[in-house]
Amino acid sequence: MKKKIPLAILEALQPVADNNLDLTKTVKDTNSMFHLVDKDENSDFYFKVTKQEAKSGKLNYLIDFKPRSKDNVNPHSVWLTLEGVLTAIKKWLELLQAYNKIHTIYDDPILKSNQERFEKQFDILDEDADTTSFDLSQQIFLDEYLSNVKSKLLALQEGRAEKEVKELEELALEATEIQSDLTKATKRQIVKRLSKLWAKAQKIGLDVIKEIFVSVTAELAKRLLTSGQ
């Protein structure tokens, strides 16, 4: 698939995607050269590069994205040079970041406060927290931890209401997505995503957060904050 996409697009946009794993995820799309979507499950925001064409002696790319701007949440399509595409995707990511930061009546205050507490508890003080990933031993530990989390979430579904079963299934899917990004995301990005996972678990029920977090808090702190073996 990747060899059907112009290398210039991959070289320009893949690093942008890799540096924003906390905001977006890539989509395998045979109709697009490059396709990102907002990681928020309640969002339909996206950014696509769909076509390449020579215009006035220069290669141009057709992009399709949503939202168009901070004043307009509708989709928009436009032909741009590669430099223009880079500018457009950066502006689109800035919009996603701004949406994530603003507090509104549509946000869940309990979920937000839970997540902030977990982020504070596992604040990475390393100078490279925003630029490097966890080391290999930490990645292996987190991969095993998240696999165990998924097993526990499956067991916790028994006897629960349909709504909670769905929430547990969504948590397991989030755990899988974090696993897939362990080698690509920065330390702080992973901690933010783990904190969101724990926050959702806590809201579902104390039995859930006790199973997937409280029982291993000391080991998590040792491995993530001190690189302990």
Q: Which two tokens stand for residue 96?
A: 């996603």
Q: Give me the residue spans of the domains in the chain.
A: 2-101, 109-225
Number of CB atoms found within 10 A of residue 13's CB? 22
pLDDT tier, 131 (very low <50, low <70, confident <90, very high otherwise): confident
**pTM above threshold 0.85:** no
Number of CB atoms found within 10 A of residue 163's CB? 9
Q: For the residues of 130-147, what is the DSSP string, one character each?
A: TT-PPPHHHHHHHHHHHH
The 10s digit of each residue's pLDDT in 152-187 is: 999 999 999 999 999 999 999 999 999 999 998 999
Cβ 37 vs Cβ 25: under 8 Å: yes
The 10s digit of each residue's pLDDT in 25-52 is: 888 888 999 999 998 878 999 999 999 9
Whether pLDDT at 126 is above 90: no
Separation of alpha carbons 36 and 139, rounded Å: 25
Separation of alpha carbons 221 and 214, rounded Å: 11
Q: What is the DSSP letter of 135?
A: P
